[in-house]
Amino acid sequence: MDDAIVNDAEPLRIVVLDDYQGVAPASADWGLIPRPVELESVTEHISDRTQLVERLRDASVVVAMRERTALSQELLEALPSLELIVTTGPSNAVIDVAAAEARGIEVRGTGGQLTPTSELTWGLILSLLRFIPAEDRRMREGGWQHTLGTDLAGRVLGIVGLGRLGSLVARVGKAFEMDVVTWSQNLDPKVALDQGVRPVTRHELFETADVVTVHLVLSERSRGLIGPSDLASMKPTAIFVNTSRGPIVDEDALVEALTSRSIAGAGLDVYDVEPLPVDHPLRSLPNTVLTPHIGYVTDGLYQQFYVEIVEDIAAWVRGEKLRNVSSA
């Protein structure tokens, strides 16, 4: 394609959704797109469909930050100008890829990294077991130590899902000299044993683990997988951590377990509804450490996301393909 023709074209209207920190414009060189660009960064989450349609009505390109906003068939049908969707990551379960393609809308993605989420997982575990947020608050109020922490060495780390992310978490658990066990629906025991991780039954994991951490992909198979009976079988001194997806866990059952103190606490980065409603009971429970789905929110990963988003859009303008995306 002739660059002069491309650069003389009408500005390409690009809307970046859910850019909470307002970092999209400075995270990549949007000038590398071989066409004039009109870039809008939306720094709040738009949950109202009418408002969302109005905001996206004239967009040729929509950039989705992970799964913060669903792009359903109904929504896509209301966006006649939309030609391209680019999502961060290689897949996005809340984009109706088939509906988009049926309307001639191309869907592309980026690469990703698992290390940031595994690091946050350990941040939550340590914050819970050593009462770091509570001790920080007490210090600022003029107090001194008032909690008794829990050692990691010799404790049981139960990993639900030993995929790439779960394996990273397991390596750190072993470095802390924990007894690392694992279970999932499709676990290959040999894979676990090769990593020095003991495969166990579902019941044994929940019954014996001092820390249960979830590392599964959300699918119809895993939705609601962890329920009341799993939580009820946990030790009253055990903690539960989820940095994967909220709907994998029965949230009402988890709130009940925390309220009744049948488990000691929970570290959560993901929720059924995001952003978490301001009146949600999880926000007021004292035995939780809550983060706003920031497992992947790091400077390094964001730079990768946006640099590759610009590459995807530039390739699309030139009529080339780089990275397609899946819906799961």
Q: What residues act catalytically?
A: 245, 274, 293
The separation between CA 273 and the C-alpha centre of its own chain, rounded to angstroms, equals: 13
| Cα–Cα distances in angstroms (integers) from residue 185 to residues 39, 133, 201, 305, in the given order | 44, 34, 10, 31
| Cα–Cα distances in angstroms (integers) from residue 264 to residues 52, 238, 258, 327, in the given order | 40, 5, 7, 36
Tell me, what DSSP letter sits at residue 143? -
Angle between helices 132-140 and 115-129 (to 10 degrees): 60
The two structure tokens encoding residue 305:
């996301």
What would the 3-class secondary structure string for 63-131 be?
Answer: EECCCCCCECHHHHHCCCCCCEEEECCCECCCECHHHHHHCCCEEECCCCCCHHHHHHHHHHHHHHHCC
Strand partners, 43: none
Peptide bond into 80 cis (omega under 30): no
DSSP string across 223-281: TT-B-HHHHHTS-TT-EEEE-S-GGGB-HHHHHHHHHTTSSSEEEES--SSSSPPTT-G
| Cα–Cα distances in angstroms (integers) from residue 175 to residues 27, 170, 196, 212, in the given order | 34, 9, 11, 17
